[in-house]
Structure 1
């Protein structure tokens, strides 16, 4: 039975918010809903590539850029808080106007904090119940929770009980938030593939840090004798570039080709973004993580994985090829964490109306 429209709107900050919405969009389609897309920049381009037949809208952009030096990251983000609040106001204006143009049965906003509506069941997806920012963590967390409370529900892409993936980010001892733990999300499916590559490099983070890491890794790997594949995370780039017989470079890959290359790779080098962790866990991969300099959440997740003997990490400026040897001494990410406390189809019952 065909149901109504559900707006799916991920934040454009890296590609992770958009990619983890892919299984939600597919589940909505299976359950008879008609997803409508809304985002901006690379996140919107990615979703349009994955779902070319779906209607879409462009949202106001935050245009977040990371500092060149990790030391300045927190200061740059704090300076942009006013810009964030302005963007939230624009989102409020957008959803008010859109609800007058089309009949929406539900809203799913992935870390978009202004897309709630008093007459439309509204969900925010976030694994960041705490927003780490060093000494200002209490402030950024309170601000984030202030906006989360405006939604009918907050879906946390993790398990409520151990073993879970997000640690303190997605779990509070005491909370008045209406939380639903929907299990970690991934667009990928585990299957058998022969190993073709010794190393896969997955890049996805705002500039200039994405380019700085790419340059560092290619410099370290130029004398490496094994086979390397690099996925640069540039949605609007070329299909692929062959540099030489050892390193194959893709600017961007859609879900299925990327899934295949991950499965065909012995080890992965990647940022420790939460969506990347979920994807690699789904595919049972071993990895070395390099958190974005100054990005407190990625630093926390990388350290947590190393502390639990799951995967090693290193700082961007300290990467050496020899550090890949450490991966063998860690268990790797595992799909066992993908059991769900609540199915997505059950979660969609919220959209039966207020």
Structure 2
């Protein structure tokens, strides 16, 4: 059977989670997916697909505090070094496995090869960075051009990604529809507020502490999913709150469908998951992460979902959600015709 390497970036769990429906489609079409990543993203996909072969890639070591631009600039040499190393690892794997017929990279720059068709997944044709947006977008677009195709997980009118995915340039881009590993279920709304945490440290822990403090005296049924991928799943209760270190797709699907309100970061995969389930969401974008700040503002302006900075968040602010329509989308099944690219070998 023919193998295809699927390699999501390890930056939170969004890149890995949106690869789940792609991996399932590959299996259905009789390809053998090889999961390639590092850190929490790799651990998560190992839990989801324990029977699949994995390939560990070097970490980009992306960490940031309050000054994201400065942190990323300082980390740039280490990131470029990791990109070169991952490219060597992938090339060596292809040389040793002649049945590899393709690569699917979700924002991993070095997972491409001239030997097999290479696909790049992103919703950010344009990378927002304030006054340097033109430069960061141009650099990213040059990277995208090195791939055979660019798959954008959104509708052709950029319904959820807005200006992030709009470009008149020919980047061999294909809009493949909203990607989500979840299915909408008609379940009783037993959870008043579902808090889903994600993203790199130390910001994830900071948000966790602030939201636990905000909800500690709330008498409703509150559930926290901490987004901490560990060896085993575990849960515990404290006062009115139930905590899970992490949940795999089926359990997360149950919890999200059973919730009245979701509180989470305005990460793109979180937006698509909530849209497919038709949920009302309150967003708390990561401070100084331009993409999340833009998406939160974009959805608020469209009266779809409110947002707040963490320092301004209060339980009273959650009441604003009744003035917004909530996220809605018809789930898009992954188009297996896209895989025709890999049948050409």
The reply to whether TM is greater than 0.5 is: yes
| Structure 2 spans left out of the alignment, 5+ residues | none
Query: Which of 268, 290, 302 matches 2:284?
Result: 290
- Paired residue secondary structure (1:243): strand
For 2:73 and 2:164, locate their aligned partners in 1 and report how far apart those are by CA, in whole Å: 19
Query: Which of 5, 8, 30 matches 1:7?
Result: 5
**TM-score between both structures, scaled by the size of structure 2:** 0.97
- Shift in Å, 1:136: 1.2
Question: What residue in structure 2 maps to residue 124 of structure 1?
Answer: 120
Q: Deviations over 1:131-184 (max 9, x none)?
A: 11111111111111111111000000011126x110011111x11211011111
Query: Which of 322, 342, 345 matches 1:351?
Result: 342
- Shift in Å, 1:238: 5.3
Higher relative contact order (CA 8 A, sep 6+): 1
Question: What residue in structure 1 maps to residue 89 of structure 2?
Answer: 94
For 1:285 and 1:22, locate their aligned partners in 2 and report how far apart those are by CA, in whole Å: 21
Query: Which of 138, 141, 144 matches 1:145?
Result: 141
Displacement over 3 Å in runs of 4+: none
For 1:339 and 1:237, locate their aligned partners in 2 and report how far apart those are by CA, in whole Å: 32
For 1:54 and 1:110, locate their aligned partners in 2 and report how far apart those are by CA, in whole Å: 18
Does the C-alpha gap of structure 1 residues 38 and 135 become closer, same or farther in structure 2, counting only changes over 3 Å?
same
Structure 1 contact 237–252 (Cα < 8 Å) conserved: no
For 1:181 and 1:248, locate their aligned partners in 2 and report how far apart those are by CA, in whole Å: 38
Structure 1 contact 156–180 (Cα < 8 Å) conserved: yes
- Shift in Å, 1:55: 0.5
- Paired residue secondary structure (2:154): coil
- Shift in Å, 1:236: 1.2
Structure 2 contact 216–240 (Cα < 8 Å) conserved: no
Alignment of 1:246-285 (within 5 A): 246-285=240-279
For 1:117 and 1:265, locate their aligned partners in 2 and report how far apart those are by CA, in whole Å: 43
| Structure 1 spans left out of the alignment, 5+ residues | none
1:169 aligns with 2:167: no
Structure 2 contact 179–332 (Cα < 8 Å) conserved: no
Q: Deviations over 1:184-237 (max 9, x none)?
A: 100001111111110000000101111111111111111111110000000116
**TM-score between both structures, scaled by the size of structure 1:** 0.95
For 2:83 and 2:204, locate their aligned partners in 1 and report how far apart those are by CA, in whole Å: 26
For 1:86 and 1:293, locate their aligned partners in 2 and report how far apart those are by CA, in whole Å: 27
- Paired residue secondary structure (2:193): strand
For 2:247 and 2:135, locate their aligned partners in 1 and report how far apart those are by CA, in whole Å: 37
